[in-house]
Structure formats: C-alpha cells, structure tokens
Amino acid sequence: MTDWARMLARFRAQSEAALDARLPAADSVPTRLHAAIRYATLGGGKRIRPALVYATGELLGVATEPLDAAAAAVEMIHAYSLIHDDLPAMDDDDWRRGRATCHRAFDEATAILAGDALQVLAFESLAAAPVDAQARIAMVHVLARASGTQGMAGGQALDLGYIGQILSAAQVEQMHRYKTGALLEGSVMLAVVLAGLQGTDQAAALTRYARAMGFAFQIVDDLLDIEGDPTLLGKTIGADSARSKPTYPAAVGLDNARQKALALMIEADAALEAFGEAGQPLCWLGHYIVHRQS
Amino acid sequence: MTDWARMLARFRAQSEAALDARLPAADSVPTRLHAAIRYATLGGGKRIRPALVYATGELLGVATEPLDAAAAAVEMIHAYSLIHDDLPAMDDDDWRRGRATCHRAFDEATAILAGDALQVLAFESLAAAPVDAQARIAMVHVLARASGTQGMAGGQALDLGYIGQILSAAQVEQMHRYKTGALLEGSVMLAVVLAGLQGTDQAAALTRYARAMGFAFQIVDDLLDIEGDPTLLGKTIGADSARSKPTYPAAVGLDNARQKALALMIEADAALEAFGEAGQPLCWLGHYIVHRQS
C-alpha cells in the first residue's frame, strides 16, 4: 500500500468511527428508523468529503476531535442526499455502494425519514463540536450554504429540471457546482473555519483548490457512468444517459471532458503551491479523485 | 375581535413576515424549487408554533428580532414535515391548508427537495439570529432535538410503524410526544433560550405547560379528524381511520379523549400560575388549541 492509500484508509477508518459514535443506536426507539440510518451511512462509500475535512484540517494544524465532528456532518449530508436522490420519485435507483438502496432495503417512507433525520444529525454534530460557539455557528453557516438551494438541494433540483435538455458546458458547470461542488468545497471550508483562517490568503487558495477539484470530481463521475466498471462502482452504469440527464461529456464530448478533468487537476495542484510539501495530501486527493475507477 | 384573537392575528402577521424575509426569492435560481418552498410555507396555516415562540418570548421580555428568527425556524420545520408527510409514500394527502399539497401542485421530486431545503433554512435562520453565538448554538441544539429521531421525524416513523395496530394510551402518548409535542415544546424552549433562562424554575414551569399543551394539541387533532368540519380544516377528515392509524380516541374512546384534552388544558393553566397575569397569553393559546375547530 502506498503512503497515499494508507492515508485514505486512515481517513476512512476515522470517519467511520466518527459517524458510528454520532448515529443513534440501532436498538433504541424508533429502531427501524435508526437501523435505516445506520444501514445507509455506515460500511461503505469512499468518504471523500471526510477525507477533505481531515486532509485540510491536518494541513492547517486543527485537532482531531473537531475534525471528527465536521467530517461526520458532511458525510451525513452526503448520505442523506444519496438516500433521497435514489427514491423512485427522483433517480429511482435500486443499487448503491454494492447494496440495495435504502428504500429497497427498508421502504420509501422510512428512507425519506432516514434522510430527514440524517440532516438533523449533521447540524447537531457541528453544534456539538468541541470548539467555541463562534466557530460552531460559522460551521453551521458553511454547511447550510453547501447543502441548501444554492448548494446541493438546488443542484439536484436543477438536474431534474434539465432532464431531456441539451445544455451548454456553462449550464452543466453551474449545475455541478451546486449539486456536488458546494459540499466538497464546504468540506474544505469547515476545516478552514476550525483553523480560524476564514478570509485569509490560505482560505482563498483552498477555495480555488476545492472548486477545481469539485468540478473535476463531477466530470469524472459523469465519465464513470459512461465508461466505468459497474462491479467497481457498486452501482448501475449508463443511468444518466438512460434518463436523458445532462452531463458534462454530453455537453462537450468524451475527449474534451477527460481533458477538462485533467486541466482542473492541474489547476487544483497550482492552488496548493503556496503550501509546499505540506499540501501534498490534498494534492494527492485531487489526483485520486480524477484517476479513481469508482 | 377579542384581544386574544387580535394577539393571534398579530403573531400570524409577524411570522408571515419573518418567513417571507428568510425564504429565497421565487425569481432566483432554482426558481421552481424556490416557488415550491414559498407555496408550501407562506399564505396559510394557524402558525401555532410561531405563536408559542412569540407569546413565550414576550412573557420573558425577549426582543422581537431574535424571536422572528426562532419563529421562522420552527414554522419552516413544521412546513417541511407537512410536505414530506403528505407524500404518496407517507400519508398520501392531496389537500392541505385548503390547497393542493406541494407534490400535487408541483411534483414529488420537487416536494422532497423543498422539504429538504426548508430544513436547511430553519437551521440557517437560527444560526443568523441577532444574539450571541452561545445562544444561537443552544437554539440549534433545541431544534435538532425537537425535529430528529427522538422528536418529530422519530414520531412520524413510529406512527407509520403502528399502522393497523391497537395501541395502549401510553404508546399513543409516546408517539404524539415525539411527533407533535417535541416541536411545540421546542418552540417554547427557543424563547426560553433567548431569554437566557435555561435550567431555571421558570423554564421548568414552561416545559410543564408545553408538554401538557402539546399532548392536548394532538388529541384535539385526532378528534377533529373524526368529528371536525372539513371546510374549516382545509383538509379531508376521516383520514386517520381510513388508514388504520392509531389515535388517542381509538385507544381510549371519544369521551375519554375529550376529557383528557380538558384535563391537560387545566394542567397547562396550572403550570402558568407562577407567572400571574403575564401568563395570560400562553394560557389563552392553550385554550385556543383545545377549543379550535381547525
């Protein structure tokens, strides 16, 4: 295992423990809801958002405990969005992270409520972080912006509204910035808040990194849905095209999309230059995001 | 108009303005999502939760602006819960507050996202309240507890899980305390937090008031679903029984349920005694909740 793979495995184990500690016990009432929440959140996923929290936080010298609170929060938001996006009224997916989606394993009503409750748990995790109240409130603002109508939820609404349309590259980019980019950027920003560095040059550089990396992430997601390996991905491929969903490759072509992802990776690298060697983990995460097979 | 009706009308107007100021503009992107959020939140509803915030806050001498933030937050949570509860996978209602439910007026996916986004807006409203960070964080905790798996979302899960079962009065009481009581109690507690009175005798008295009143509220809701006037209610009646939903009247009989609601009203009154004349608005709200026709 390379150093980088070891680092990612460490972040994964840490975010799993941080989530486990903050999710309600499966044997407490209401048990079925709690079981659904744990099923949809634990035991799978790349944990890229927590990895961004931890890697940024370690770069900026933040202690582990507050990073755990932030990492758990962003992954809870991500998990809730997957549960809701997979519902029949949305993307209607049966398969996620190599297992039945939450509404298939449980039922639709339970899946809706599990998503709703995970969103509460995410804000609660930030509100309980072991840092001063000012920093906790600043984190609540960052997470709200990342997940609301100008962020993740808004992006999903745009995505659904665009079905069947031919979009320009700029329109796809805006949709992706809302739908995926906002929460990836938010993950980096939570660590910046915990470091007390909002508004500094370092924060600006990390924002540039996060934006480039976030857009690259979604382009690669679109590409994997066309040419990825369903066994590695743990979900069906071809789903976007089957649903006439607008994607970046559909807007600019496969080759241009691949080129754009690589250009964004270079842009992300450049944004990290000011951090020197210390920026390597984030740099590596960017490369992982572009070159991943799942 | 009586003084009390005037007070309720004032709280309604104030919460409408507080919501309007905090909801995204309908002409900003994503427009359809924003339109759905405004449709489901503005222009209807009894605004009982905001009224509890304002009445408690005025009793305790809290300024109007922070109360607006708290009132908007509880009503956003309530509005999101109605949107999600009305979905086909949950209660499958077509009619709410005298109009088509959100998923009927828009579509299911938009309704799911509108609910999700309203939850974000609620936490954002608290995080932006014009009070110190400590009080804002305390409010986030109160709202999280009221709306999570040991509160509103958990209560809805219990409710769905109990369909078709014959419950004891104690089981119905627990379900109602989660499903409705928690957010009504939370509304009172947000004002207590803003007054800086957590942990005091006054807070304990207001908690007793809120619990009695919250349970009475749900018993009356159950009764109205059996013997209410659908024109006044703005929704179909008989829905609970048609779906074999467990209700308090089903557990103890109609007469006993009516008696219990009155007994709880007296309990709520007694809890307010320590406040003397100043407790009258909350006292009146309790009576309104028990005697309402809609």
- Mean of all residue pLDDT scores within chain A: 94
Residue pair A205/A270 in contact by the 8 Å Cβ criterion: no
Interchain CB distance below 8 Å, A141 and B124: yes
How open is the CA angle B221-B100-A144, to the nearest 5 degrees? 80
Instruction: Give the residue on A whose Cα is nearest the Cα of B149.
Output: A117
Interchain CB distance below 8 Å, A153 and B87: no
What's the mean pLDDT in B7-19? 96
What's the mean pLDDT in B150-161? 95
Size of interface A-B (CB pairs under 8 A): 149
> Both tokens of residue A290?
């572009």
CATH number of A3-291: 1.10.600.10
Q: Does A26 contact B at CB distance below 8 Å?
A: no
Q: Is the pLDDT of residue B292 over 90?
A: no
What's the mean pLDDT in B147-153? 97
Q: Which residues of B touch A145 (CB under 8 A)?
A: 124
Q: What is the pLDDT of residues A17-29, one digit of tens each?
A: 999 999 999 999 9
Interchain CB distance below 8 Å, A84 and B137: no
Residues 6+ apart with CB under 8 A from A109: B89, B90, B157, B160
| pLDDT score recorded for residue A199 | 96
Residues 6+ apart with CB under 8 A from A203: A189, A192, A197
Residue pair B188/B209 in contact by the 8 Å Cβ criterion: yes
- Mean of all residue pLDDT scores within chain B: 94
Sign of the Cα torsion B245, B250, B252, B256 reads positive
What is the separation of C-alpha B143 from the centre of its chain, rounded to a whole number of angstroms? Answer: 12
How open is the CA angle B27-B32-B33, to the nearest 5 degrees? 100
Q: What is the pLDDT of residues B241-276, one digit of tens each?
A: 777 788 999 999 999 999 999 999 999 999 999 999
Would you call B49 helix, strand, or coil by DSSP?
A: helix
Nearest-CB residue to B127 (from A34, A89, A144): A144
State the pLDDT confidence band at A244, using cuts at 50, 70 and 90: confident
Q: Does B38 contact A at CB distance below 8 Å?
A: no
Q: What is the pLDDT of residues B72-129, one digit of tens each?
A: 999 999 999 999 999 999 989 998 888 999 999 999 999 999 999 999 999 999 999 9
Residue pair B35/B114 in contact by the 8 Å Cβ criterion: no
Residue pair A215/A265 in contact by the 8 Å Cβ criterion: no
Residue labelled with tokens 């932006």: B128
| pLDDT score recorded for residue A165 | 87
Instruction: For chain A, give the percent of residues with pLDDT over 90.
Output: 83
What's the mean pLDDT in A199-209? 97
Closest to A42 measured CA to CA, from A8, A17, A6? A17
Best of A93, A123, A156, A178 to mutate (most B CBs within 10 Å, chain B): A123
Alpha helices in B177-279 (DSSP H): 182-194, 201-227, 230-233, 239-242, 248-252, 254-271
Q: Which of residues 97-156 of A touch B (CB under 8 A)?
A: 107-110, 112-113, 115-117, 119-121, 123-124, 127-128, 132-134, 136-137, 140-141, 144-145, 147-150, 153-154, 156
Closest to B79 measured CA to CA, from B34, B38, B123, B110? B38
Residue pair B18/B68 in contact by the 8 Å Cβ criterion: yes
State the pLDDT confidence band at B30, using cuts at 50, 70 and 90: very high
| pLDDT score recorded for residue A234 | 73
Q: Does B292 contact A at CB distance below 8 Å?
A: no
Q: Is the pLDDT of residue B240 over 90?
A: no
Instruction: Give the residue on B whose Cα is nearest the Cα of A142.
Output: B124
Which ipTM score applies to this complex? 0.95
| pLDDT score recorded for residue B236 | 72
pTM attached to this predicted model: 0.96
Residues 6+ apart with CB under 8 A from B232: B293, B294
What's the mean pLDDT in B39-51? 93
Burial of A8 (0-12, 13-18, 19+ CB in 10 A): buried
